[in-house]
Amino acid sequence: MAGETVVWIIEAEQWPRAYLIAELAERGLSAIGYPHLSEAVADLRAGLTPRPGAIILELRDQYVEPSLIDALVGSGVPVVLLTGAFERDERINEGRGWAAVMKRPFTVGSVADKVQEIAGNDSNV
């Protein structure tokens, strides 16, 4: 739909990605899920899918190449980074211009709240 805010979710695990998609849909946001960072960056570069109003990047189980992170952050789209103790790599987490960094534990609802705040969609359906 024209004018609809789209959020991209980069999450390796199917069910957490599906939960986020469902929660965002309940809040009036459309979401596209990607299991791998490389796929999302390829789509961002190609411009064949709707440009997102925000991107959620879950670092758990992600192959993270610095050039892909640079492309994502350099796109101008606000990125919410989800991380935990095992994924903490200061070279990735710090100084990258993330819109927000959320460290586990967090809830699906708190991630959706942050995305709504960043994407400028405050409607609750």
Which residues have C-beta within 8 Å of that of residue 89, sequence separation ≥ 6? 64
pTM score, whole prediction: 0.88
Percent residues over pLDDT 90 in the chain: 61
Spans of all domains in the chain? 6-107
What's the mean pLDDT when you consider all of the chain? 86
pLDDT confidence bin for 124, thresholds 50/70/90: very low
Question: Taking CA 112 as the corner, what is the angle to CA 38 and CA 91, rounded to the nearest 5 degrees?
Answer: 45
Superfamily (CATH H level) for 6-107: Response regulator (3.40.50.2300)
CA dist., res. 38 & res. 124, Å (int): 32
At 65-107, the pLDDT tens digits run: 888 988 998 999 999 999 887 665 555 655 668 899 898 899 9
Complete DSSP assignment for 37-71: HHHHHHHHHHT-SPPPSEEEEE-TT----HHHHHH
Q: State whether residue 74 is helix, strand or coil.
A: coil
| Arithmetic mean of pLDDT, 53-75 | 90
